[in-house]
Structure 1
Amino acid sequence: MIDWSLVAEIAGGGFGVTILALVILCVAAWIMGLIVQKVKAKPEETPEEDK
């Protein structure tokens, strides 16, 4: 006979781990985007030429 409580526990755990992994990836991508934007926003220091 099928133990439906065990089935629900395994399925729920797998679903929960999947959602947790996606949230971690989402936060990591967001943080990397912030870092890239800050690096690109810095003006590059180039020597000024006298004209």
Structure 2
Amino acid sequence: MMPQKLSLHDLERAKGLLETVGPAAAYDYLSAKGYRYAVLANGVAKGGLYLAMRLLIL
């Protein structure tokens, strides 16, 4: 899946999730928009680099 172009609204939403819920929620949001880096970052944020790398390979 190609990443979707992010609008200002999308970035504000991700920032709001980061500030209110935490990094995992922001990364989940960006991942749903097609940004695979967010999967890796989320895995690192949760302390599971190996799992994150495996998810990127799938």
Please indicate, yes or no, whether the TM-score normalized by the shorter chain is above 0.5: no
Return the TM-score normalized by structure 2: 0.26
Return the index of the structure with the highest Cα Rg.
Answer: 1
Return the TM-score normalized by structure 1: 0.29
Relative contact order (alpha carbons < 8 A, sep ≥ 6): 1 or 2 greater?
2
